[in-house]
Chains A and B, each alone.
Chain A
Amino acid sequence: MSVDVPQVNLDAGPTPEVLAQLEAAFTAELADARGRADVAELQALKSRYFGPKGVVSLLLRAVGKLPPEARRDAGSSANQVKKALEGQLAEVLDALEAKAKDAELRRSRLDMTLPGRAPAPRGALHPVNRIIREMTDIFHRMGFEVAAGPEVELDWYNFEALNFPPDHPARDMQDTFFVTRPGAPSEASIRDLVLRTHTSPVQIRAMEKQGAPIRIISPGRVFRHDSDATHSPMFHQIEGLWVDEGVSLAHLKGVLSSFINAMFGERPMRLRPSFFPFVEPGVEVDMQCMLCDGAGCRLCKGTGWMEILGAGMVHPKVLANCGIDPERYTGFAFGLGVDRIAMLRWKLDELGHLFRSDVRFLSQI
């Protein structure tokens, strides 16, 4: 339904009565058109009132025909009304346009419950290397540098320099793979090449090269001649070494206690005397069981403690073998198995999973 533009006496100019009449008529029409939300109708309304032949334009033009003294007031009030009415119309039009745009945007709504499209599949670091990275970060913050060394190693570095004399039963603690030297007599008598049984040879090489003071950790692969459900012929260790003037067993306790708290959350630890040829005194480091928090469980055999590191004060012969004066310098060394930590973290039932590269396993990590 359309409302006619009010019949206005143009000759009288925009008298207050005329303006009021105009305003009332426009407001009514606008309200009416807004209800129908019809943009075209509103555009028509606009042109009927404000277009060149619109009533408002005519009215304004009529101002010119008024006596000069009346023109100013009439013009001003007419313009005010025009502005107000135009404002009302613009508001309605803007709102309608915004709504239309919004509706347009909504029309392209996607089903975001459908799966995403990945640029590449998900990859992941190996669990063992994730743990090594975490541990390396912790030790790095304590000022340890990372050192590396060969995996096929000379007997000297793997054993003898570490105070494992030849024909010493301490060598039985580490079942060893040997490597054949090319051209060596077929008799297995020459056994100077081994797959390193621990990462300790890196300590020797680093001390030889750098001397004291020194503070390193050496993560890496190690090999033992052993294979069953809980032993792999290859596994990983992180070893640490801190040699300086006045380093004590209490310092070892401090560093390892900090490490355990950072890696496994605040938990008690203890040192237990033990034996490794390259340290004296030697200790094993237990921490409160990760599974039962000390209450006693199958994992810790009811003791509430789990053995986590081997450690001790670097044996004076080892320091001397590396050209470091054992009277002036003392130091501690420690080592731990990474794979077992990975097994505990992801609750693995079998060590072999770690080294088989089965994607079904790796994708769960």
Chain B
Amino acid sequence: MKASLKWIREILPGLDASAEEIEKRLTAAGIEVEGTEREGAGLAGVITAEVRTCDKHPDADKLSVCTVFDGAKEHNVICGAPNARAGLKVAFAPVGTTLPGGFTLVKKKIRGVASEGMLCSEAELELSENHDGIIELDPGMQVGLPLAEVLGKDDVVFELGVTPNRPDVLSHFGLARELAAIFGRPAPKAAPAVTATGPEASASAQVRIDAASRCAKYVGRVITGVKVGPSPQDVQARLRAVGQRPISNVVDATNLALMELGHPLHAFDLHRLEGARIIVRPAGAGEKIELLDGSTKTLTEDDLVIADAAKPVALAGVMGGANSEVHEGTVDVLLEAAVFDPSSVRRTGRRHGLHTEASHRFERGVDAAMVEAAIDRCAALILEMAGGTLHAGRVTATGEAKPKASAKVRPARAAMLIGRPVSADEVKGTLTRLGLTFTGEDGDALVFEVPSWRVDLALEEDLIEEVGRLHGYDDLPAVMPPAGKAVWQHAPAVDVEGVLRDRLVGQGFFEAVSLAFAAPAHLEAMGLDPARAVVVTNPLGEESQLMRPSMLPPLLKAARLNQDNLPSITDVRLFELGRTFAWTDLQAKLPEQVRRVGVMMRGRRHPAAWNAEAGALDAYDLKAVVESMLEDFGAEVRYDAAEVSWLHPRSATCVVLRGKTLGFMGEAHPSLMEAFGLEGPPVFLAELDVDQLAALPRGPRRYVPLPKLPPAQRDLSFFISREVSGARVITTIRKADGGQFLESAEIFDVYEGKGVPDDQRSIAVSMTFRAADRTLTDQDVEGSLGKVMKALEKLGATIRKA
């Protein structure tokens, strides 16, 4: 909210602190000053002057050449305004002045005639939107004075960040009251009562509440015979300074009273109220209302309306209706001030996408005791600006009022919670300054009555905060708490992520962090089930319609981005750790949110070098990355050939851990490449379930004593059907030995092609045999080897060399 310091000082004349001091103290008390505008800053250099002569420009029909006297000398000024004339007192910006728009005036020739400055319009000085001609100052105005001073533009306007718990400071009066407490001054006084000269208001208007729980009070006042027109300039300027648009004197009066006292007000044209009556009631389902902003809303039974005998005339607490609006021809006015239920107003505002000065305050909670003062103040302002006769008395209806609140606080508890000594006197002193009334003691607690405007104070902690806040926390010691009893161990969940991150970074991957969304097109490209997708109800665009079902779409998008950015190099290695989202169980409270790691790599195996061939990455490079990730967890997995719609059939692999799918890996399917606009080197992808890895039993791996006896080494090469996998070969060999002497068996060569029978390949295996208790004899080794060969032959192998 914007607040004018000048206005505050009018309400609290005793406030003599400087703007800087006030700004500092407000911020320190929790009402953050987010910005300060010094009014008139844009008027620097602009002075009052007199037009002495004004003649037509010799060479341009619409321009005049004026001589302008600034009190010291005359200047030649070209002016295009139709109202420029001799004798006029004007706002003159001499050469060198920088106008609010940032434009600095220089001496220049306009159609052959030199101009030494500018006569300004209100719009050019950003005083208003009025661009109809230059400013016409009071004919008696002295020349040569700074315009800012003449116009009284020396106010300071604070931009305040008022937190939602403090509706009581959403007005100048409220701020003055808060500042009085901060600076220890007497609280400001309300405006004097207004005098009514007309007949009883109740004779010309009636008010009724049909929704008692949602409207605690509705008060009306009648003013007849007003003359609607523009407000005086100073009123308009004041409203503009605090961010309000002047409309007409009657409407401006409601806004002035709102900004002054914080209570929303509304003025109806009394003659446009059917039956001259007001009924506060729930809307009928489907009932329609056209609002002041021109929009038409279809209402629900949960909306509260102000209605006349026939129709809704306002959306309660949010906005008035167009059908009862005060207009140029309005003569008689019914003023409204009311107290509406905060959550009712908020629901209506949110449902219809409306947020107004009124709803902003109602939904936070207005001061129920302010209603009468606010409506009287507004009436007084209308009488002052628009004339008319105020009818006697207020027409009032009441609903369910909130009881007076009281709260207790134990000074010892305050001291404990804040962490510094707090005495009963300090508590009493501070809270009394803030308008609370000490009503007695209850055991070791002090009991206070909470003033009507502090809707945020109810609990002991609320009062403790007030004590802490007003004193400030600058002298609060910084104390390390005692270690206490809390458990202290490294969370394994995060550890797993750290291990994976370090492993991948070490292999040349950059870690990506992507927005965790996906587009429906991504789902389609991966062939994933849209029925399982987690849909964002209010996305920011197509790309955020879903929560990502997989880590891969953002990585593929990144591959595309980098392909476009680095057209000559497509070496990219990226990984990301995060959650993926799916409704695996449609009845579940929350969608499944599995942590996964996604890996994407393409391009060369090594960075380009002058002394080495940088071979292209292939699926086995990806496999090594996956293996390296699993190694740290001692995860024994199977790599099964798989049908995966988004992976190339030649390498699509399912990684299986303990019978469960841990993830997939392989080369991206050409159709997936195409869907993401990827061209050039193949893209290798892997995605693994991190939660499964985290769930693996962990602990230090068991040490295997180092061998003391020498091993025996044997190589074996053979032809075997391509259908037999490498993994099967190794398993067969291990099984054949039965854990007797074989220590390790590794495939060291695979060849197919020339010299190898069709549909077969040549595999060479290197085996190490060893016994823990004795040196193996040739016989031992040959025995094992024989069993191995036999088993391989049974698998269809033709042994070539043993």
- Are A249 and B418 in contact, with the CB atoms below 8 A? yes
Instruction: Tell me the minimal C-beta distance from A180 to chain B in angstroms.
Output: 4
- Are B509 and A182 in contact, with the CB atoms below 8 A? no
- Are B479 and A254 in contact, with the CB atoms below 8 A? yes
Query: A229 within 8 Å of B by Cβ?
Result: no
- Are B511 and A124 in contact, with the CB atoms below 8 A? yes
- Are A123 and B504 in contact, with the CB atoms below 8 A? yes
CB-defined contacts of A48 to chain B, threshold 8 Å: none
Query: B464 within 8 Å of A by Cβ?
Result: yes
Query: A185 within 8 Å of B by Cβ?
Result: no
CB-defined contacts of B469 to chain A, threshold 8 Å: 273, 281
CB-defined contacts of A124 to chain B, threshold 8 Å: 505, 510-511
With A152-B591, A316-B461 already in contact, the answer to whether A167 and B28 are too (CB < 8 A) is no
Query: A126 within 8 Å of B by Cβ?
Result: yes
> Given A125, A172, A316, A358, which contacts B505 in the complex, CB threshold below 8 Å?
A125
- Are B494 and A146 in contact, with the CB atoms below 8 A? yes
- Give Cα distance in the complex from A148 to B490, angstroms: 13
- Are A169 and B28 in contact, with the CB atoms below 8 A? no
Instruction: Give the residues from 278 to 309 in chain B that come closer than 8 angstroms, CB to CB, to chain A.
Output: none
- Are A255 and B489 in contact, with the CB atoms below 8 A? no
Q: Flag the segment in B124-132, B533-541, B724-732 that touches A.
A: B533-541
Interface size on A, residues (CB 8 A): 95
Interface string of B416-454 (1 = CB under 8 A from A): 111110000000000000000000000000000000000
- Give Cα distance in the complex from A151 to B578, angstroms: 10
Instruction: Tell me the minimal C-beta distance from A348 to chain B in angstroms.
Output: 13
> Given B506, B537, B610, which contacts A179 in the complex, CB threshold below 8 Å?
B537
- Are A254 and B538 in contact, with the CB atoms below 8 A? no
> Given A114, A116, A254, A363, which contacts B510 in the complex, CB threshold below 8 Å?
A363
> Given A170, A195, A273, which contacts B468 in the complex, CB threshold below 8 Å?
A273
Chain B residue nearest in CB terms to A114:
B610
Chain B residue nearest in CB terms to A314:
B461
Query: B332 within 8 Å of A by Cβ?
Result: no
Q: Flag the segment in B253-261, B564-572, B654-662 that touches A.
A: B564-572
CB-defined contacts of A313 to chain B, threshold 8 Å: 417, 461
> Given A168, A183, A242, which contacts B164 in the complex, CB threshold below 8 Å?
A168
CB-defined contacts of B363 to chain A, threshold 8 Å: 167, 169
- Give Cα distance in the complex from A248 to B508, angstroms: 46
- Are B468 and A281 in contact, with the CB atoms below 8 A? yes
CB-defined contacts of B473 to chain A, threshold 8 Å: 249, 253, 270-273, 283
Query: B593 within 8 Å of A by Cβ?
Result: yes
Query: B114 within 8 Å of A by Cβ?
Result: no
Interface string of A118-160 (1 = CB under 8 A from B): 1111111110110001001000100101111011111000000
Query: A198 within 8 Å of B by Cβ?
Result: no
Instruction: Tell me the minimal C-beta distance from B69 to chain A in angstroms.
Output: 40
Chain A residue nearest in CB terms to B495:
A146
Interface string of A243-279 (1 = CB under 8 A from B): 0111111110111011000000000001111110100
Q: Flag the segment in A1-9, A53-61, A70-78, A213-221 that touches B.
A: A213-221
- Give Cα distance in the complex from A168 to B167, angstroms: 13
The 3 closest A-B pairs by CB, nearest first: A250-B419, A273-B30, A248-B419
Residues of B within 8 A of A (CB): 27-30, 32, 163-166, 342-343, 346-347, 350, 360, 363-364, 416-420, 459-462, 464-465, 468-469, 473-474, 476-481, 483-491, 493-494, 498, 501, 504-517, 531, 534-540, 544, 547, 554-555, 557-558, 561-562, 565-566, 571-574, 576, 578-579, 581, 583, 586, 589-591, 593, 606-607, 609-612
A-B contact pairs, 27 of them (CB 8 A): A120-B508, A123-B511, A145-B491, A148-B491, A178-B537, A180-B536, A195-B547, A215-B486, A225-B538, A232-B515, A233-B517, A246-B416, A250-B419, A250-B477, A251-B481, A272-B28, A274-B30, A275-B164, A280-B459, A280-B462, A281-B464, A330-B416, A355-B515, A357-B561, A358-B561, A359-B574, A362-B511
